[in-house]
Amino acid sequence: MRECVQPYFVKDGVLQEYGSFHMGLINEGKSIYEVARLSGTRLLFLDDHIDRLFTSLKLAGYESWLDIKEIHHHLNLLILKNQSPEGNVKFVMNFTPNQNPSFLAYFVAHHYPSAEDYKNGVRVITFPFERTDPNKKVWRPEFRRKVTDEIREKEAFEALLTDANGMFPEASKANVFGVKKGRIITPPDELILPGVTRKYVLSACRELNIPVEMRTIALDEIKDLDALFLTGTSIHVLPVRKVNETELSIQNTTVGEIMKQLERKIKTHLK
């Protein structure tokens, strides 16, 4: 599968045809990145993604040579040239020894849940992997290849990343929330990559007066949950119906209320 899926990408402010894109642009050195979802001509919660990019850079010991306005300009250039009505846009700051740092932006393949997925929930699997630096969004091509192969082989939608203690702080591309007796359970920020969508879900919980407990969920606790759901750029709020072979309820009013409140926030943002 191609990494760059639309005819044009942007490198250091210059439009280039996808034929000149190669994986060395992001696989060599260290790449700090974000992925934002396009709706019409707007990237959803873009400034939140840029803020998180800057946070990842700082934690990794780098500084951005572009400001928010310049990043907006590069991304708008990409969107206008490709004329895509929707999709996911990845923007990357790459640092390779003995070379000038570079900024890339391009459309990547996306898989949005179907209406049936939202209605009936999705199946997820577990995958042993523990991030050593969870607050930094760093491109790890070998991990991404392995977890993607496992998800595809087991015909799952996502993978919960499990640590040595049998806990799952997050999924491979999503944040995780449990529901128990009307209370939301989700890991504290320092243990995960805090997602942009997760930020707005927590805001929705406050607005709906839904109590939130910040802690990690254990695998052997799944059977006792009232519901489990994922959040992320591509999926928004997505119910989980099965973890490996453990079935979960998807008829949960708390999850339904959060889904509706998030959609209201998205519509307001895109006005």
Profile the chain (271 residues) by mean pLDDT over runs of 10 residues: 93 96 96 95 95 96 97 97 93 96 97 95 94 83 92 96 93 96 95 95 97 96 96 97 95 95 94 81
CATH 3.30.470.10 domain extents, the chain? 8-108
CATH code of the domain made up of 8-108: 3.30.470.10
Contact between 194 and 53 under an 8 Å Cβ cutoff? The reply is no
Residue 121: the pLDDT is 97
Locus of tokens 């805090």: 194
Contact between 160 and 124 under an 8 Å Cβ cutoff? The reply is yes
Query: 16 is written with which tokens?
Result: 């280039």
pLDDT digits (tens, 9 = 90+) for 47-82: 999 999 999 999 999 999 999 999 999 999 999 999
Angle between helices 46-60 and 68-82 (to 10 degrees): 120
> What amino acid occupies position 253?
T
CATH code of the domain made up of 115-270: 3.20.10.10
Evaluate if pTM is beyond 0.85: yes
Within 13 A of 201's CA, how many CA atoms are on the CB side? 28
CATH 3.20.10.10 domain extents, the chain? 115-270
Residue 130: the pLDDT is 84
Query: 243 is written with which tokens?
Result: 């973890």
pLDDT digits (tens, 9 = 90+) for 220-259: 999 999 999 999 999 999 999 999 999 999 889 999 999 9
- CA 32 to each of CA 56, 113, 145, 176, 231: distance values in angstroms, whole numbers, following the listed order: 7, 26, 17, 22, 21
DSSP letter assigned to residue 270:
H
- Residue 269: name the closest of 230, 236, 229 by CA: 236
Residue 271: the pLDDT is 81
Distance, CA of 186 to CA of 259 (rounded, Å): 16
